[in-house]
Each structure stands twice: as structure tokens, then as C-alpha cells.
Chains A and B, each alone.
Chain A
Amino acid sequence: MTKPAQSIITFENVTKRYGKVIAVDNVSFSISEGEFFALLGPSGCGKTTLLRMVAGFENPDEGRILIDGKDVTDTPPNRRPVNMVFQSYAVFPHMSVRDNVAYGLTVEGVGKAERLRRAEEALALVKLDGYGERKPDQLSGGQRQRVALARALVKRPRVLLLDEPLSALDAKLREQMRFELTQLQEKVGVTFLIVTHDQDEALAMASRCAVMNRGVLQQVGAPSDLYEFPNSRFVADFIGQVNMFEGILSRDDPDRAEITCAELTTPVFLDHGVTGAAGSTLWIAIRPEKIELKGRKDGEAKPIMEDAPEGANVEPGFIRHISYLGSESVYEVDLTSGRRIKALRSNLTRWDQEDFQVDQPVWLAWHACSPAVLLS
């Protein structure tokens, strides 16, 4: 993917307080033209607040927001070049679908013929052609959402803001809308800024995500960056599944490092250096699919990982639970320290699921490049 250079929204040290609650805490980052950008985080972390500050319904207590390089602090919502799809859709119940979609053009003073043409165009874009005469109460929830989308897109905004657009839809429709939203975004080329607390949704749709926690921006990056290179325990844990171990940096060279964890029998070996003082506490995170399962028999020598010194990155354990999920199986394994961890294994053939049974002794092994080291 080519990286677009032009930054369209910039947050500069934005802080927003509600009484004693700090909803958004000194957030700085920018969004580039044409991105499908997702704001991701648990409930109450300040995503909606951030989005509403872009739309102009709230103003930052500190810092500023730039749209197209212009400070919009004093610009009211009706003069900002952004449009929003609300969580409740907020379709006007007393207006027909067409009037709803054309509303933004009506207040702008666009002529009637032009208005109708663009409204029809927008309705076609969201696959609602022929629904113009209907009243919103004659539409399904999914259709009302499309009206809200068309109504916002008809204004040709610089950025389209969407607050939890899929949360009110049923699972099947949600799946479909994910796909349609990404398609729509490619088609119209408008920058999308979407708020969600569903990490799958964010990873599937977004070209870049910002992860927030309690008002603080934790990490900004492409979905794969967040998943493979999380910068904190929070991000590692929030995105996907993870096995986390606390440890002490016992050896640190430019091209290798070792971390001693109380819950593991041997130090974790890494094929890269770590930025941290020797002896400091840090955490390692290993994703379940990056842990390999091997059968283990009594008295058998420990298998050796080719990219680690003898004995490192291999741990003995017992399978305690197996969840067969069709395409893959999740194995819950107890280590000798009693710590339970998860390993995920793809069922590459139809017999793979029979390789391991509950209570079977196994080796757990991972590559020296697999664990993510987290300093906070």
C-alpha cells in the first residue's frame, strides 16, 4: 500500500474533561487522506468523545484539532467539512427517505433538480434506489442505517465519521455491512473515521487503527502492527488472544536477549535485543497460534528449537481442555508451574484433530522471534 502523505485530521494534545472524569487525555495523532481509520477501545475509553470533537459537538479543553490543516476549534458543527453517521442513525422520522438524504443539500441551498439528482445518486450508492418515497418507519434497521449513510455522503464530506455503525445490526448483517462499508469507502474515496469496540471489526475493515484506553492513546498502527507488535500489555491483551508472562531481563545483547519468567522452566530466548535496563521487569506476550504442540513421552529428551539454544523456548505441559472449532482447535495446556496457557493449531488435514487428547503430556515450543516484549 502506498502511504498517502496528506494529513486530513490532526489531533494535537487534545484533552477533554467531564468534571473529574478525563474522557480524552492528551491525545495526539493524525489521519491521512483516503484512510479507513478505526478508533478502537473498551467501553468508556473516550472514542465517542474524540469523534464528537471532530464533528464539533464537543470542544477540547486543551489542545486543538486540525481539519485540512485548519484549526476548527471555533467552527460550529454545521460549518465543518465532516459528516457523521450516528449510532441511533438519527433519521428524521417526519421526512421521507428522499427528503432525509437531500436535507443537507436543502439547507445548503442547492437547487431542486440538482438536489434530487444527488439524492438519488446517494441512494443508489447505498443500494436503496426506489425507496425515496418511503417514511423511515417503513424501513428495517439496516435500511435506516443506509439512509443515514447516504444522507452523510451526499454532502461529499472530507471525512465521514461513524460511531459504532454496526453495533445495532444482527451478526449476519454486520458481517455483510463490514464488507459493504469497505467497498463503499473505496468507491467514494472519502476518508472514513469509524469508532468501534469490536476488535475483529476494526482489524477486518481498517487500514489503520488507534487503540485507546481510559482516554489515553495506546498505539496507532496498521492492524498487523497492533497484532504482531503491540507496544503495551493493554494492546496485546485487547487485540486478539495472548499468553502473557511477567519476567526479568536477565541478558541483553544487540542481537539476542533472555528473559527469566517465574512461570517458565527456562528463560525465554529472543533473537533480538531489548530496550530496557538489565534486571528490569517486563512482559512477554505469545499468541496462541505461534505456539507449537509436540507429543511428549516420559524420559524423552527435550526437543530443540533450531533458532534457540538447547532447551530454550520449549516447555513441558499437560493438555487440560480441547475446543474443536472446525478450522482449528484450541488447546488449553497446564505448565509445570500450574500456569494455564492456550495454543492454537490449524486442522490442516481431516485427521489433525485426533493428534492430541486431553491429559496427554506435550511440549510447547515457539520461535525466538515470536514473543512480543512489552515494557509496560
Chain B
Amino acid sequence: MSRSRPGPLDYLARWPLRAWMVATTVFLYSPLLTLMVFSFNNSRRNIVWRGFTLDYYAQVLGDDSLIQAFINSLTIALISTLFSVLLGAATALLLWRFRFPFKAGLEGGLALPIVVPEICMGVALLVFFTKVLPWPTNMVWPFNLGVIIIAHISFSFSFVASVVRARLASFNREQEEAARDLGASEWRTLIDVILPHMRPGLVAGGLLAFTLSLDDFVITFFTSGPDTTTFPVKVYSMIRFSVTPEVNAASTLLIVITVALTAIALRLQGSDGAAATAPH
């Protein structure tokens, strides 16, 4: 073959590009790797390697307040994901299906929690829940987490709605009409035909909502109280004194859990995403 201009993928074979890729990989993954490695380091000072130990994991698992924070985080993430998916899916369906006044406004407003700086959201929610709608303190677990859950739903449902809305755009309306034509009621059509099409969007949106909630710091920091610490907030309070191996160990656990959940969800999405996007 004669020499020709390289195609876009050929550039990957050139050395500047390779160097650049190596650099990104290093800067992206080496901090994480360091964190994980030092969680096994048998030394209180995180500087030199002093041998392997699982002591800090034992300490983390023995630390009641850390475990409580962890359980809080998971509970908040689960409940807020559930509601975000329900609300987000309903909103997406509404925007996709119907025409109504101020629709454009609602669609724009939906993007607000995505673009508004998180710190502002945090302050706004703090003011709202202390001044406008005070959430009763000293409620029993898990109702004391209500404020945080509502705060998380309020920003993550719009992510779900956006993802599901995008998925619905590829729906062939003739399928809905076909179901109606074959005798299905509107509800039946929604359940039998539209929901299966939405599913990859629901999974992706749910995943997004879950991880957003699990690792949210800023908004949670403003809305959590002494009894309602979440894992990120707890970690933050721990490193205010020093970065201890316990923090490393706890963070490693969080990373592993998040990655595992993501993998599972992506796998779920992959299997029926393929079927749902087949050419019709």
C-alpha cells in the first residue's frame, strides 16, 4: 500500500500519543494504587513500606462510628436511588409523552441540579431544611436520614430523568401503537412495551444515582447532623487530624464496593441493552 495520511486510529500508534496515554494512566491510577497499597502497610506513618498487615482493616471494621457512617451511606444511597429512579422515570415519560404548557421550562429546570455548583445546592438545602421546613431532630434511624435522602433525590433524579429521556428518544412509537392495536390498554402497553425499552436507561440512571449518592460529600456535609454522618463525611473528619492507614483501608473498601456494583449493573445493562437496541 502506498503511504497515505494516517486515519484517526493510526495516531494511537505514534509515540507522543502513547506517552500521553501513559501519563494519564499514571496520574489517574497511581494515587488510587498508592492508597490501596498503603492500606496494607504495617506502619502508622504512610511513608515507607514496613511490611504487610490487615490490622487497619480490623480497626476499620471495629470502629463503630465508621461502620455506622458506612451503613448510613448505603441506606441513603439505596433509598435515594429507588426514589430517584421512580421519579426520574416518571418525569422522563411525562416529558417524552405529553405536550403541556411550560414544558420547555420544566425541561430546562431539570438540568438545574446538574449545572448548579454543588456548594450552592448544599447551602440552599441547609437553609431550606433549617429555616423553611425544619426536619425534626432526634428521630429514630433511618428516619433521621430523611433530610440527606431528600437532598440526594433532589439532585440525582434529574440525572436519571436525563438518561431515561435520552433512551426514550429512540423508542419506535409504532411499537406502542402495535400493542394498543393488539388489545393492550395504555397501562399494559407501558408495562409490556415501553418499560422494557426504558430498562437500560433505568439501570444506567440508577447506577448513576447510586454512586452519586454514595460518594457525595458537599451536599451531605451541609445536611448531615452529628448522628447522621455518612462515610465521606466521616472520612473527611478523620483526615482533619492526619491521613491514617485506617482512612486508606476504609477508602479501599469503598472503592471495591463501588466498582463491584458498577460492574454488576453494567453487566445487567449490557445483556438487555443489546436486545433492546437491535434494529427493528
Contact = CB atoms under 8 A, between A and B. Distances in A.
A78 B280 contact: no
A271 to B, nearest CB: 51
A83 B278 contact: no
A94 B182 contact: no
A152 B275 CA distance: 23
Task: Say whether chain A's binding surface is mostly helix, strand, loop, or mixed.
Answer: mixed
A210 to B, nearest CB: 22
A137 B179 contact: no
Interface residues of A, number: 31
A170 to B, nearest CB: 16
A77 B180 contact: yes
Contact of A103 (B179, B185, B280): B179
A93 B279 CA distance: 8
A108 B184 CA distance: 8
A84 interface: yes
Interface string A85-114: 011111111100000000110011000000
B174 A107 contact: no
B63 interface: no
A89 B184 CA distance: 17
A94 B198 CA distance: 11
B196 interface: yes
Contacts of A84: 177-178, 181
B180 A93 contact: no
B183 interface: yes
B184 A78 contact: yes
Task: Say whether chain B's binding surface is mostly helix, strand, loop, or mixed.
Answer: helix
A77 B174 CA distance: 13
Nearest to B274: A137
Interface string A52-95: 00011100000000000000000011110011101111111110
Given A88-B174, A93-B276, A103 B196 contact: no
Nearest to B189: A78
Given A88-B280, A136-B278, A137-B278, A107 B177 contact: no
Interface in B261-280: 272, 275-276, 278-280
B275 to A, nearest CB: 6
Contact of A135 (B179, B185, B196, B275): B275
B185 A78 contact: yes
Contact of A92 (B177, B183, B193, B272): B193
Nearest to A155: B182
14 contacts: A55-B177, A56-B180, A56-B181, A78-B185, A84-B178, A84-B181, A86-B174, A86-B178, A90-B178, A93-B197, A93-B278, A93-B280, A137-B279, A155-B183
Q: When A and B form their complex, which 4 residue pairs have the shortest distance between CB atoms, in order from nearest? A: A137-B278, A104-B182, A90-B174, A90-B178
Interface of B: 172, 174-175, 177-185, 188, 192-193, 196-197, 272, 275-276, 278-280
